[in-house]
């Protein structure tokens, strides 16, 4: 494809070379450049893409997009005002707008995205065949699985994989759309058949993410300017803002009151729930074998999205009842008289909902093992300490992806909150030792909740990610005891 065709729809000026050259691919990472590629210089949180221009030329780049004048112009150089916008538009052009060939559903919200996407996939796999999924646990379509470092891939990676899906015959794709993915235009020029807003809390505010809550909320709302239709949870107090910003028809969803899509006669027990789905011309019973009211919301969203996509009632019921979501209310098989659950809860709201759901039907003690991530909103830390101290019978405060912060300092900030309660607790910086302490002190019918890591299989410390799978950690500890 000619560069001028790749750049169609972008304001730019040619600083060197010609727009009539042939482009064979697009890259924003100089390490992935091949001969004939267009290299886009993006300024990231830590790196400046312009610093890698020389390496891109060395690897055979035919052209580069820059946002300021550069000295090294050994091939075609294009100047534009917004590199991320240019990358998104160029990628959509180069891969011939694959989202238009898919039933692409996007879901945004602080919590519930992964569980809901897995529920939708489970339903549509039963109803229509292969449904692609993209999010926290990577990208899966047909027999292909791709590990990803970001929930929402960079725009050129996104458009490339959407093209691969469309060419392989995929019809339906459900995608987690993060606020940072929206803010950084990773989803720019992507067309969604349906956008969903689940909820919002203060989980992603910090130096490396959003500057404040208003920016976070506004980023979430961006999905509904690129969607043909929307489902909005009106039980959330910020839903009015999302609806106001939407540029598409909106269907409302509620568990608490009147809406276009509702759950009625909700019954929750220690292992799951059941409710009557009402809306979209349907009324039928749904059983969820995952605990908590939050999973009623997830199931309600999943059922609605799947029905809109063409699923029948039987497939909805089967798909939700039989879904398996790694790291979400995941009970480990341990052959003991106590239980261990792994969950991704890593914000005040998600931790509170998880602990309350488990506490309501617990036969023994709730032992909460959690920490807080570094380089994130520090105001959440005492809040989470107070929540765990007020609900759990015993809390073990430990590390969870400290990143570039001192894990001991993070724990001290969590302690500020738990000290406001009468909850019993201890602090153990080393997460493995914390888990071992919980196991060694567990009594009959206790439930140990390992919160925060969920599906993750790494620890992020000082810029390095090392392998860390809590399932393996638990198995090793139990092995020492004599399984």
Q: Residue 183 is inside which H or E element, if any?
A: helix 179-183
Q: What's the whole-number mean pLDDT along residues 201-223?
A: 76
Q: Which of 358, 359, 421, 409 is nearest to 384 (CA)?
A: 421
At residue 208, the pLDDT reads: 58
d(CA 396, CA 438): 8
- Minimal CA–CA distance to 447: which of 390, 393, 372, 389? 393
The domain segmentation of the chain, as residue ranges, is 3-92, 98-321, 330-481
pLDDT of residue 135 exceeding 60: yes
In the chain, count of helices (H) and strands (E)?
A: 15, 24
Q: List phi, psi (to 5°) of 258.
A: -80, 140
> 482: left (phi > 0), else alpha (psi -120 to 50), else beta?
left
Span 425-444, pLDDT tens digits: 999 999 999 999 999 999 99
Q: Is the pLDDT of residue 43 over 90?
A: no
With 70 as the cut, is the pLDDT of residue 122 above it? yes
39: three-class secondary structure by DSSP: strand
**Inter-CA distances, 141 with 132, 138, 144, 146, 320, Å:** 4, 10, 5, 9, 19
Work out the end-to-end distance of the chain between its first and last CA atoms, rounded to an integer number of angstroms.
61
pLDDT on residue 203: 57
pLDDT at 380: 93
**Which pLDDT band holds residue 481 (cuts at 50, 70, 90)?**
confident
Instruction: Give the helix, strand, coil percentages of the chain, each rounded to 5.
Output: 35, 25, 40
**What is each CA distance from 221 to 197, 238, 413, in whole angstroms?**
8, 10, 32
Decide which of 1.20.810.10, 3.40.50.300, 3.30.1330.50, 3.90.190.20 is the CATH code for 330-481: 3.90.190.20
- d(CA 191, CA 201) in angstroms, rounded, equals 26
Taking residues 96-111, what's their average pLDDT?
Answer: 95
Say which residues have a Cβ less than 8 Å from residue 437's Cβ, sequence separation at least 6.
396, 426, 428
Q: What percent of the chain has pLDDT over 70?
A: 97
Task: Average the pLDDT over 456-465 and give the result.
Answer: 92
Residue 68's CB: how many other CB atoms inside 10 A? Answer: 10
201 or 371, which is more confident? Answer: 371
Question: Average pLDDT, stretch 299-321?
Answer: 98
Name the average pLDDT for the chain.
Answer: 94
Nearest to 322 by CA among 456, 105, 121: 121
pLDDT at 262 over 60: yes
Judge whether 328 and 135 are in contact, CB under 8 Å: no
State the pLDDT at residue 210. 65
pLDDT surpasses 90 at 213:
no
362 confidence band (pLDDT: 50, 70, 90): confident
Residue 205 has pLDDT above 70, yes or no: no
pLDDT at 202 > cutoff 70: no
- Range scoring the smallest mean pLDDT among 142-151, 298-307, 336-345: 142-151
pLDDT band at 129 (very low <50, low <70, confident <90, very high): confident
Residue 149: pLDDT band with limits 50, 70, 90: confident
**Can you state the angle between helices 380-391 and 348-360, rounded to 10 degrees?**
10
Question: 3-92 in CATH: which number?
Answer: 3.40.1390.10
The CATH number of the domain covering residues in 98-321: 3.40.1190.10
Given a cut of 90, whether residue 148 has pLDDT beyond it is: no
pTM of the model: 0.84
């Amino acid at each position: 494809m000619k560069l001028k065709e790749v750049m169609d729809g972008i304001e730019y000026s040619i600083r060197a070379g010609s727009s009539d050259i042939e482009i064979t691919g697009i890259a924003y990472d100089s390490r992935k450049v091949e001969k004939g590629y267009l290299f886009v210089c993006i300024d990231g949180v830590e790196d400046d893409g312009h610093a890698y221009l020389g390496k891109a030329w060395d690897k055979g780049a035919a052209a580069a997009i820059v946002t300021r004048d550069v000295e090294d112009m050994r091939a075609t150089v294009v100047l534009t005002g917004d590199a991320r916008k240019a990358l998104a538009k160029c990628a959509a052009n180069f891969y011939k707008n694959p989202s238009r060939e898919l039933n692409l559903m996007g879901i945004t919200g602080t919590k519930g995205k992964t569980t809901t996407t897995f529920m939708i996939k489970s339903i549509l796999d039963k109803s229509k065949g292969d449904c692609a999924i993209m999010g926290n646990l990577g990208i899966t379509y047909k027999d292909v699985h791709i590990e990803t470092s970001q929930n929402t891939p960079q725009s050129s990676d996104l458009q490339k994989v959407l093209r691969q899906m469309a060419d392989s015959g995929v019809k339906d794709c459900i995608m987690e759309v993060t606020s940072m993915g929206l803010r950084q235009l990773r989803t720019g020029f992507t067309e969604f058949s349906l956008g969903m807003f689940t909820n919002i809390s203060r989980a992603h505010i910090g130096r490396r993410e959003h500057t404040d809550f208003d920016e976070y909320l506004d980023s979430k709302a961006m999905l509904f300017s690129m969607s043909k239709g929307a489902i909005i949870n009106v039980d959330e107090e910020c839903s009015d803002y999302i609806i106001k910003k939407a540029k598409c028809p909106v269907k409302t969803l509620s568990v608490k009151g009147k809406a276009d899509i509702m759950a009625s006669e909700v019954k929750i027990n220690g292992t799951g729930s059941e409710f009557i789905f009402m809306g979209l011309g349907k009324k039928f019973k749904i059983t969820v074998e995952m605990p908590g009211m939050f999973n009623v919301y997830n199931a309600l969203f999943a059922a609605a999205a799947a029905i809109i996509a063409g699923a029948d009632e039987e497939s909805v019921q089967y798909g939700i009842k039989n879904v398996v979501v790694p790291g979400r209310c995941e009970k480990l098989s341990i052959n003991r008289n106590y239980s261990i659950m792994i969950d991704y809860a890593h914000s005040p709201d998600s931790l509170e909902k998880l602990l309350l759901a488990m506490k309501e039907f617990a036969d023994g003690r709730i032992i909460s093992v959690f920490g807080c991530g570094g380089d994130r909103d520090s105001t959440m830390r005492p809040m989470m300490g107070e929540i765990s101290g007020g609900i759990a019978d015993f809390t073990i405060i430990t590390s969870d992806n400290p990143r570039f912060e001192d894990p001991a300092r993070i724990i001290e900030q969590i302690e500020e909150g738990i000290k406001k309660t009468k909850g019993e607790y201890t602090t153990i910086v080393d997460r493995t030792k914390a888990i071992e302490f919980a196991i060694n002190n567990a009594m009959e019918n206790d439930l140990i909740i390992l919160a925060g890591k969920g599906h993750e299989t790494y620890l992020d410390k000082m810029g390095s990610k090392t392998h860390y799978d809590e399932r393996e950690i638990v198995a090793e500890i139990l092995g020492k005891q004599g399984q």
